[in-house]
Amino acid sequence: MEVAAWGLVVGGLLVLMALSSSSLKDLPLSTAMIYLLVGLAIGPLWLELARIDPVADAKLVEHLTEFVVVVSLFSVGLKLSVELDDRRWLLPLRLAVGSMVLTVGLIALAGVALGLPLGAAVLLGAILAPTDPVLASDVQVANPEDRSRLRFALTGEGGLNDGTAFPFVMLGLGLLGLHPLGEWGERWFLVDVVWAVCGGLAVGGALGTLMARLVLYLRMRHAYAVGYDDFLALGLIALSYGAALLVTTYGFLAVFAAGVALRQVERRETTASRHESDVPSPGSDTLIERALSTPKPLVEADQVATDPMHAPAFMAHAMLGSTERIERIGEVAAVVLLGTMLWAVDWSLVTWWFVPLLFLGIRPLAVAIGLAGSRVARPQRRLMAWFGVRGIGSLYYLSYAMGHGLDPALANTLVALTLTAIVASIVAHGVSVTPLMKRYDRIRRRRNPSGQDGV
């Protein structure tokens, strides 16, 4: 009966979301909120179909969230089609480095005020500092042609800081005696910061570039390697992640860099082919969208995939579509899992002023300082400050840390604080994202009808 019940719950949820996804876009309600309620319902608090303990089942949670995050990071990288030398990259870099480091420090100070030892306080900061690429899809760029400065900054931040938070996770574990730092912290700086960050970006960038060039060569020169773009996307994700871990660098950054690199190759090849053929951009994109969405008798997708003018964009569009679908399924699993774990939270360990401080104090202050001197308009700064979504990435870092032998009492405290922050983020940001982003898009279109960046 348990298998039958699980089938009814999972099947009903997937069908419900498929049928109601369009109508939900107009409501102050996110899909993650529904998944969370389903998780609560099937957990020990009601139906008892699943009983997941965030401490005892930390490895299960770690592996599931790890998969969801890496797929999401690759998808995020593919969405960012701006050239690497474009100044728009400065915004996500400032948010993902400057603002995030400041956020880690401020959360650590709050953690010390909560009575946590310094190492645990730094670890809490590293867990909760990165914004989430999975649950923040409503504030990310809608497509690679979206030039919204706000959406680009939040998308890039979510892609970068899920990897740049890792050094602080290792620092927190090191201060707790669970990871070697070196006598003066030199090992942590050289290995966990410099090598792991730079190496991860280099590994992912190289593999993404090589894969893109290889596939395009085979398709445009020999009409080989056509179809199975979902296999190619998952294969590149696995290769980048595995190679990065093999050389002890950060797999999250490698996967993100692979997506960015593949998109960079696509943009260069597409631009070159259009200059040679003098074909305007909209025509190509329209044809590719038709090839991906209509039956083959109407548009022969294989011909588009091997045509030198359209092959690069077709490849990137197909990979992005595949990973976005996998990401959405992964989001369902991860957030439902989160809901099933809430029964195990010791709410007496939660200090209730911490979450408002995180969202209304620490995040806005870190964004304001990180963007000081930039030409970002005040409405954009306010939205960037508010949409510091916490979610699946934080859940991964929490379970990763527990797998390194945290003291049980300390682990329970971190679980209570982290899950409270994630649930609060799902609710607060889920309720506010639709009205706030609709208002922002209306203002942006009114001030800038051309759709170019600047608002």
C-alpha Rg value of the chain to the nearest Å: 22
pLDDT tens-digit readout, 54-92? 999 999 999 999 999 999 999 999 999 888 988 899 999
Confidence of residue 423 (pLDDT cuts 50, 70, 90): very high
**Concatenated DSSP letters of 86-130:** SGGGHHHHIIIIIIHHHHHHHHHHHHHHTT--HHHHHHHHHHHSS
Residue 205 belongs to domain with CATH number: 1.20.1530.20
In this structure, is residue 57 part of a structural domain? Answer: yes
Cα angle 264-268-273, degrees, rounded to a multiple of 5: 145
Q: Which has the closest alpha carbon to 416: 131, 116, 47, 165?
A: 116
Q: Which has the closest alpha carbon to 178: 392, 358, 414?
A: 414
- pLDDT value for 210: 97
- Which amino acid is located at 49 in the chain? L
What is the three-class DSSP state of 182? coil
Greatest alpha-carbon span in the chain: 68
Is it the case that residue 295 has pLDDT exceeding 80? no
The residues, any chain, with a CB within 8 Å of residue 189's CB and separated by 6 or more, are 182
Q: Which has the closest alpha carbon to 334: 77, 102, 61, 131?
A: 61
pLDDT tens-digit readout, 103-148? 999 999 999 999 999 999 999 999 999 999 888 888 888 777 777 8
Average pLDDT over residues 41-50: 88
d(CA 435, CA 234): 34
d(CA 383, CA 429): 11
Three-class secondary structure assignment of 196-248: HHHHHHHHHHHHHHHHHHHHHHHHHHHCCCCCCHHHHHHHHHHHHHHHHHHCC
User: Which of the residue ranges 38-42, 256-260, 298-302, 331-335 would you say has the lowest mean pLDDT?
Assistant: 298-302
In this structure, is residue 453 part of a structural domain? Answer: no
In this structure, is residue 114 part of a structural domain? Answer: yes
Taking a C-beta distance cutoff of 8 angstroms, is the pair 261, 267 a contact? no
The residues, any chain, with a CB within 8 Å of residue 440's CB and separated by 6 or more, are 150, 379, 383
In this structure, is residue 428 part of a structural domain? Answer: yes
Average pLDDT over residues 306-317: 86
In this structure, is residue 320 part of a structural domain? Answer: yes
Q: Which residue has the tokens 């989430």?
A: 132
Domain containing 94 equals 2-447
pLDDT tens-digit readout, 353-410? 999 999 999 999 999 999 998 888 888 999 999 999 999 999 999 999 999 989 999 9
Is it the case that residue 296 has pLDDT exceeding 70? no
Taking a C-beta distance cutoff of 8 angstroms, is the pair 68, 334 a contact? yes
In this structure, is residue 43 part of a structural domain? Answer: yes
The residues, any chain, with a CB within 8 Å of residue 43's CB and separated by 6 or more, are 49, 50, 51, 52, 339, 340, 341, 342, 343
In this structure, is residue 368 part of a structural domain? Answer: yes
Tell me how many domains the chain contains: 1
In this structure, is residue 310 part of a structural domain? Answer: yes
Confidence of residue 1 (pLDDT cuts 50, 70, 90): very low
